Amino acid sequence: MSEIPSTDEALANLSMPLLDAMMTQRAIRRVKPDPVDDAIVVKCIELALRAPTGSNGQNWEFIVVKDQRVKDQLGKRYRQPWSIYGALGRRQAANDESMLKILKAVEWQVEHFSEIPVLVVPCLRGGTRVPYVPTPFVGETSYFGSIYPSVQNLLLAARAMGLGASLITMPLWNVTSARRILGLPLSVTPICVVPLGWPRGRYGPTTRKPVEDVVHFDTYGNRGLTT
Ligand SMILES: Cc1cc2nc3c(=O)[nH]c(=O)nc-3n(C[C@H](O)[C@H](O)[C@H](O)COP(=O)(O)O)c2cc1C
């Protein structure tokens, strides 16, 4: 089991090579209940804010949840869809070892949600369309797309500091309830949740599709790799 670094050590680890951080950033769902220093969480958010947003709106808000009652309520919301999705997933993935492994980790997270030391809830202000864009479609993709670059920055910062993190959306399935739990006005929409804590396991390389399977040159279907 990995050691918990001091705040100074964790912050110093931000100098980790970008390539190493990107190649080993993955969902760490099993975390220890030990507290995470606010300075570390705030640093993750400060680095998240270097990301782009549609029309440079910077219309983001980050709720840092440590209060037990708020965590319990969000945990209860997570358990509701999981009781259906988890059972369905296990049935569908009966012969898929790697998917079963993920589902076990998700189950751990759902069951221990209240013990996770910090939940960051990235939110967006305004209606679900970015202004000054030509069509509703571009407005909507730009709106929701305005949070995820910042979330990826946050995940990479957490990874560099050795802090376990994952990106989840299921606890927010009932947005009205999520707003009430978090005290959000109607003008602020919670988009996802990033649970943070010191890992019980360790970071390691991720398994992803090979690049040749997803890249197309000029038009869809043109797989020829040019050199
Ligand atoms: C938009 C989005 C929503 C997600 N929602 C959840 C979620 O609700 N619960 C969960 O356990 N993981 C969620 N994930 C994480 C994926 O399941 C995870 O990236 C995938 O299992 C790959 O894991 P790895 O990075 O450890 O390889 C979400 C990821 C994205 C991008």
DSSP state at residue 5: P
Residue nearest to atom 31 of ligand 1 (CA): 167
Q: Tell me the mean pLDDT in the region 100-107.
A: 95
C-alpha 145 – ligand 1 centre gap (Å): 16
Collapsing DSSP states into helix, strand and coil, what is residue 195? strand
Q: Quick one: what percent of the chain has pLDDT higher than 90?
A: 85
Q: Indicate if ligand 1 lies below 6 Å from the C-beta of 167.
A: yes
Ligand 1: centre distance to CA 227 (Å): 34
> Residue of the nearest CA to atom 22 in ligand 1?
27
Judging by beta carbons within 10 Å of its beta carbon (0-12, 13-18, 19+), is residue 132 exposed, middle or buried?
exposed
* Structural contact between residues 99 and 86, judged by C-beta atoms closer than 8 angstroms: no
Q: Judging by DSSP bridges, how do beta strands 60-65 and 118-125 pair with one another?
A: antiparallel
Mutate to test the pocket of ligand 1, among 159, 168, 173, 192 (most ligand atoms within 8 A of CB): 168
**Residue 226 pLDDT > 60, yes or no?**
no
| Ligand 1 pocket check for 206: Cβ under 6 Å | yes
Name residue, tokens 């988009």: 191
Mean pLDDT of 89-100: 90
Is the sign of the CA dihedral 80, 84, 89, 94 positive or negative?
positive
pLDDT for residue 1 is more than 70: no
pLDDT tens, residue by residue, 47-94: 999 999 999 999 999 999 999 999 999 999 999 999 999 999 989 988
- Considering only CA atoms, which residue is closest to atom 5 of ligand 1? 168
Q: What is the pLDDT of residue 77?
A: 97
Confidence of residue 28 (pLDDT cuts 50, 70, 90): very high
Q: Is 16 in the pocket of ligand 1 (CB under 6 A)?
A: no
The predicted structure's pLDDT at residue 113: 98
Minimum CA distance residue for ligand 1 atom 20 = 27
Can you give the pLDDT at residue 227? 54
Average pLDDT of the chain, as a whole number: 94
**Distance between CA atoms of residues 57 and 44, nearest Å:** 20
Atom of ligand 1 nearest to the CA of 78: 8
The CA 132 to ligand 1 mean position distance, Å, reads 31
The arithmetic mean of pLDDT across residues 157-172, rounded, is 98
- Distance from residue 106's CA to the centre of ligand 1 (Å): 9
Tokens of 201: 């396991």
**152: CA distance to ligand 1 center in Å?**
12
Query: Domains of the chain (ranges plus CATH)?
Result: 7-213 (3.40.109.10)
Unique residue bearing structure tokens 């030509």: 134
Q: Is 182 helix (H, G, I), strand (E, B) or coil?
A: helix
Task: Report DSSP state, residue 186.
Answer: T
